[in-house]
Homo-oligomer: A and B are copies of this chain.
Amino acid sequence: MKLSQGVEWGAHCAVTLARVEPGLSLSRRTLAERYALPEAYLAKHLKAMVNAGLLHATTGPNGGFRLAKRPEDITMLDVVEAIEGPVPRFVCQEIRQRGTAGLAPEDCVARCGVDSAMEAAKEAWRESLRGVTVAALVARLPPAARGPVTP
């Protein structure tokens, strides 16, 4: 249940990008300096968000990153899964069927109870993250930090 560091960075960057005027972009250098983060490493997470279709990247002067979708259509779950990769399903190795206590396959038609419980918990977690959009996070910023961001 360890959560990678970059998730926080990605989330904050998404919130910041949501405040940029349409048509403009923020370079990864600007974003990194904005939060005093290591630029080269932040780039890796931004790229992951590009691959996931959350951000759009343009090169050259005045290039950078911008949101690829509306802030209302980007959830925290999108950000987390973009950076962490698709959440690996709880790997129930079906140890029920192994070893000296191995159950017969016909006793395993119902899913392993441990697996079910972990899966349900993970789904609750995902559902909670799915309910928070980037737009909602922008709305919750303090008034002093809600204005447009310029490159």
Identify the A interface with B (CB < 8 A): 1-3, 5, 7-9, 11-12, 15-16, 32-37, 76, 80, 84, 87-88, 90-93, 95-96, 98-101, 103-104, 107-108, 110, 113-118, 120-122, 124-129, 132, 136-137, 140-142, 144-145, 149
Contact = CB atoms under 8 A, between A and B. Distances in A.
Contacts of A104: 144
Interface residue SS majority, chain A: helix
B95 A114 contact: no
Nearest to A121: B128
Contact of A110 (B37, B88, B127, B142): B142
A38 to B, nearest CB: 12
A8 B91 contact: yes
A113 B141 CA distance: 7
Contact of A113 (B95, B103, B140): B140
Contact of A100 (B34, B127, B144): B34
A122 B132 CA distance: 14
B90 A117 contact: no
